[in-house]
Amino acid sequence: MRTLQQTLSARPTSDGDGVRISRIAGERINALIDPFLMLDEINSDDAADYIGGFPEHPHRGMETITFMKAGRMRHRDHLGNEGVIGPGDVQWMTAGKGILHSEMPEQERGLLHGFQLWLNLPAKEKMKPAAYHDIRANEIPCAELSLGGQVSVIAGEVIVQDVKTLKGVLPVLSTEPVLMDVSLNANETVSLQFNPDYPALVYVMKGELSGEDGFAHGHMGIYSEGNTLALEAESKGASMLILSGKPLKESIAQYGPFVMNTHTEIDQAINDFREGRFV
C-alpha cells in the first residue's frame, strides 16, 4: 500500500494579467513532485479574479496541461493552434524548443475553475518541436464507482477497484505521466493501481479525505511508491487530481516560463526569445 509521506499547502498568488490563483511550486518543492514542476488552481466566480487571463507569453523546455472543471478558456499559439476548452476538457501543450501562446477566459462572468500543471521534459527532449493536443471530456475514459463516485483517467494506465483498467488517450511519454480526476461521495472509498515504482501526488480540489492522515481542499499529499493507493472521502465527499510520473532527477534551471537544466541554457532561451527565434 502507498503511504502518505508529506503534505504541501497551496499558496495564494497572482499571474498573467492579475489572475488570482492558488499555487504549489518552488525550488524546494521540485524534488518532491518531480517530474511535475507546478500546480496552479483558479477557482472564482468573481470575474475580477480571472478576466485578465494570460496574454501571449513564451515557454521552453516543459509541457503545460490545462484542465477545466467549470467555465471556458481559449488557447491561441504562434503555430496556428486555437481552441476553447470547457468543463472536463484538457489542453496538453508541449513547449519543447519554444512556443508563444495565450490563454484567455471565454466568459465575462460566472464560475471559472481550472488547473494548470507544468510537467518537466528530460534534457534530451527539451528542444523537441512544440506540439498541441485538445482532449475533450467525452474522450476521457471513466469508471463509475458503486456509491456514485467516478474515476476519469486523462493520462496513463490505471486499474480501478482491482477490476477495471482505464487507459488515457495520450501516447506514452518518456515521463510516463498519470493524471486522474477522481470524485468520491460521502464516506466512499477507492483503490487505484498504477506505476508502483513512482510516488503519487493527490491534490484535493473539493471536500476532504478521511482518516488519521486525511487532508482537505488546497493541500497536496505526497504518497510513497507502492502497488495500491487507497483513499476514503469524509462525510461531505471529496474530489481530487491524482498525479504520478517518472522522476527525472535532473538539475533544474528556471526563469519564469523557461525550464532548462543549466543557467547557460536559460540565457540562450532568453536571447532566442528576444531575437524572435521562437517563431
pTM value is: 0.96
pLDDT of residue 219: 98
pLDDT at 172: 83
Please state, in angstroms and rounded to a whole number, the distance separating the CA atoms of residues 84 and 101: 13
Instruction: Give 207-227 pLDDT, tens digit per residue.
Output: 999 988 899 999 999 999 999
Separation in Å, CA 168 to CA 135, 165, 234:
10, 10, 28
Q: What is the mean pLDDT of residues 112-141?
A: 96
Contact 20, 50 (CB under 8 A): yes
pLDDT tops 90 at residue 171:
no
> How many residues are listed for the chain in this entry?
279
Q: What is the pLDDT of residue 170?
A: 86
C-alpha cell at 46: 468573481
List the domain boundaries for the chain.
4-264
pLDDT confidence of residue 127:
97
The pLDDT value recorded for residue 227 is 97
For the chain, give the percent of residues with pLDDT over 70.
100
CATH architecture of the domain formed by 4-264: Sandwich (2.60)
Please report the pLDDT score of residue 211 as a whole number. 87
pLDDT in tens, 44-100: 999 999 999 999 999 999 999 999 999 999 999 999 999 999 999 999 999 999 999
| Cell digits of residue 272 | 532566442
C-alpha torsion sign, points 45, 49, 51, 53: negative
Could you write out the three-class secondary structure of the chain?
CCCEEEEEECEEEEECCCEEEEEEECCCCHHHHCCEEEEEEEEECCHHHCCCCEEEEEEECEEEEEEEEECCEEEEECCCCEEEECCCCEEEEECCCCEEEEEEECCCCCCEEEEEEEEECCHHHCCCCCEEEEECHHHCCEEECCCCCEEEEEECEEEECCCEEEECCCCCCCCCCEEEEEEECCCCEEEEECCCCCCEEEEEEEEEECCCCCCECCEEEEECCCCCEEEEEEEEEEEEEEEECCCCCCCCEEECCEEECCHHHHHHHHHHHHCCCCC
| ∠ Cα 55 119 11 (to 5°) | 70
Band (128; pLDDT cuts 50, 70, 90): very high
pLDDT at 213: 87
State how far the Cα of 154 lies from the Cα of 258, in Å rounded to an integer.
Answer: 25
In this predicted structure, what is the pLDDT of residue 43? 97
> Per residue in 110-126, pLDDT tens?
999 999 999 999 999 99
Mean pLDDT of the chain: 96
Pairing of strands 189-193, 4-9: unpaired
